[in-house]
Structure 1
Amino acid sequence: MDDRSMERRLDDLERVEAIKALKYRYWRACDGKDPDAFRACFVSSGASIDFGVLGRFDDADRITQVFTDIALREVDGRPVILDMHHGFHPHIELHGETEASGAWTLAFRQIDLLHGTETVSSGEYDDDYRVENGEWRMSRCHYSVRWSITRPLTSDTVVVQ
């Protein structure tokens, strides 16, 4: 293997790792209730976003507002929605130095203290990524639920936050 080929392979690995880091930042922003970090994961304008029951959007500003309304809702000064996003099985394909696509599996858990429910689900992300201002961002983020179960929290359920 020549040095040029080795350098290209290393550059590609660095791109893939940067895209993985982007998706992990996105899930941390979701669970950490951080709208600014959430929004920063998407391109500045024109993102294609499809989150099923949460809606379809042609820009990340609108989904950021939906996220803010849900994630930051409080009752008596405490959050009423508690989320856990665990993403894995990434499959990243590079389409040059500044474009890529990816697929991920999500294990999701949500406690809704307002309605007294717990939801556990599994789904798939289908994403596109683009370098913008030197950073990888999501330009397309479509999520589809594979399965989901919602059950009531019992009277003896203790939630510590």
Structure 2
Amino acid sequence: MDDLDAIKQLKYRYLRALDTKDWDVFAETLTADVTGEYGSSLSFTTRDELVDFMRTSVGPAVITEHRVTHPEIDVEGDEATGRWYLQDRVIVPDFQFMLFGAAFYADRYRRTEHGWRICATGYDRTYEAKMSLADVPSFALDVGPAIRV
């Protein structure tokens, strides 16, 4: 597999693990010294911080969907950068809340003895929309078996 395909698979695995709450796989996509910048108020400087935050904040009561497209990846030796177009949705049934939006991810990757890993990640929002599910009386949610509880 070439470097571009390996980095694409890494990013997809990161998102799949996030959405299915597979925190071990999620952690494996990151270097120990990863930094994360998700908007202006969320930042992390280690894998443990980032994974712990996601595990706590995006637990089984929060349904997420993350899709990335249009990768722009540049590889220079054992380091690479990537930009991705993100579309996401967050549903919190207990609070009758849904958020959806779009952003551009900016990532840095490092080749390790275990393959490519994300060493910096974050995004800048292009928009974010929020709504009360109480405004949609017919809204119903069934969660599939892929979500780890």
TM-score by length of 1: 0.83
Q: Which runs of 4+ in 1 moved over 4 A?
A: none
Per-residue Cα deviation, 1:37-94 (whole angstroms, up to 9, x for no partner): 1111111x2212111266111111101011101222xxxxxx3211111100000001
Q: Which of the pair has more CA radius of gyration?
A: 1
Could you tell me which residue of structure 2 aligns to residue 108 of structure 1?
Answer: 88
Matched length? 141
Could you tell me which residue of structure 2 aligns to residue 14 of structure 1?
Answer: 2
Structure 1 residue 132, shift from structure 2 partner: 1.2
Structure 2: where are the runs of 5+ without partners?
144-149
Structure 1: where are the runs of 5+ without partners?
1-12, 73-78
Distance, in Å, in 1 between the alignment partners of 2:47 and 2:137 is 38
Counterpart of 2:34 (choices 19, 30, 47) is 47
Distance, in Å, in 2 between the alignment partners of 1:142 and 1:86 is 14
Query: Could you tell me which amino acid in structure 2 is paired with residue 157 of structure 1?
Result: F
Could you tell me which residue of structure 1 aligns to residue 75 of structure 2?
Answer: 94
TM-score by length of 2: 0.89
Q: How does 1:18-29 map to 2 (within 5 A)?
A: 18-29=6-17
Q: CA RMSD in A?
A: 1.4
Distance, in Å, in 2 between the alignment partners of 1:103 and 1:47 is 17
1:159 aligns with 2:141: yes
Structure possessing the higher relative contact order (Cα contacts under 8 Å, 6 or more residues apart): 2
Determine what percentage of the aligned residue pairs are the same residue. Answer: 28
Distance, in Å, in 2 between the alignment partners of 1:144 and 1:114 is 27
